[in-house]
Structure 1
Amino acid sequence: MMKKLLLAIFFISTLTIQAQDTSYHEDVLAYFKVNGTAAQYSNATDGLFDLLKKQYESQNVPESVWTELKADSPKQVERVLNMLVSAYRGTYSHEDIQNMLAFYETGTGRQLLADRTALDYEQQKEASVFYNTPTGQKILMAEPDIAQNIGEISQIWSRDLYRSMVDKLAEKGYSM
């Protein structure tokens, strides 16, 4: 009976930890949507296709091939965002992520992301209050390290995505 109880407790605690991890992951992904990171990487994939079209211009690659290759873009964006979660996991707690989400979903947070120079006086005060919280201070302190990690992840992702697209074009008989 005791073994069954211990096994049940272990199973429940494992499920709880997995649920918390999933919740953290989902919240960071939601934060990436709010703060524009998801859109940034979506735009980056569009830019990559513009570059590839120019590089392969002499090959007369049909639009249907580009459409087929672009169909994979949402998965590629999801892949990099999932990679970026790891950059945040080592720095921000789940509570920090929830605080960041809550702030950046406000009018002040959205304005700060869109154009910080257009903040009015009240918004400047709200932003100041947020950045004086433990989460805000953590954002300010961690910004250089997070930026470096994101830069490294972005570089790896974009290089791999470019290679993948060039390989797929080669499989279809197109080369630069």
Structure 2
Amino acid sequence: MSGENRTPSDRAELEAQVAAHPFFIGMNAHFIGLLSDCAMTTRFAKDQVIFRAGETANRFYLIETGRVVLESGADAGGAAVIIDTIGAGDLLGWSWIFPPHTWHFTARAAEPTTAIFFYGTILREYCDKDPALGYELFKRMSEVMMRRLQRARDQMIAVMRKTAQGNNKPPRSSSH
């Protein structure tokens, strides 16, 4: 576990960060302690890929500073479609809790970003042992999942409309 080499003051500081994050506001102290046992701080450089669609989802992040974009596939021009932009106060990564535990989107830091990293595989074990923790995380993750899926749907519809409009343009007239 990530907490094995921490000093008591490091642990207390991380636990305070976790408890203060908007995603975990109101969660009981016991659960915050368990979450903190599985956490560490991390940083991402601008344009660094955090995870890729299709890879194993075994972690999640609470964004502290910076911005991360979620990307899906490519549009007709070959550019990645940005599904959502996630910033300070947001959660990144819900796929670790839902089978088959694979990422649905690619996440990339849009600017230098700091986050709290959580080991999802360890948390799944904690959830199996303590269903109340699992239920609490499930409720919170489900809210994020529903918002993200709605945004993904909206973005995909916008891309399809743009593509359809591009295909309906009249042919260019040739000058003789």
User: What TM-score does the superposition give when structure 1 sets the normalisation length?
Assistant: 0.36
Greater Rg over alpha carbons, structure: 1
> Which structure is richer in relative contact order (CA contacts within 8 A, separation 6 or more)?
1
Hey, which of these two has a bigger chunk of helix by percent? 1
Point out the structure with the larger strand share. Answer: 2
